[in-house]
Amino acid sequence: MSEAVLASVSSFESTAITDLPLLYETIDPDSLEAILTSHADMCVSFDYSDSRIEIYDDEFLIVEAT
């Protein structure tokens, strides 16, 4: 999921992935993956870079401006 977050934010912000802040400084990617894969009907949201990320059921990822 962390790769999907990086790719989506990179595209949304028109920024290279390498120019984005380190994801693990915002959220623990392993914990994010564990939460999303172990719980049904889960929604996780957090701010990263200049975006708001919402992930639903480990299937839908939404990126919005903060």
The angle, 0 to 180 degrees and rounded to 10, between the axes of the packed helices 29-38 and 2-12 is 110
Bridge partners (DSSP) of residue 65 are 51
CB atoms within 10 A of CB 32: 21
Paired sense of beta strands 60-65 and 51-56, if any: antiparallel
Per-residue pLDDT tens for 7-40?
999 999 999 999 999 999 999 999 988 888 887 7
Rounded CA-CA distance 40/7 in Å is 24
The Cα–Cα gap between 15 and 6 comes to 10
Q: So what's the pLDDT on residue 63?
A: 95
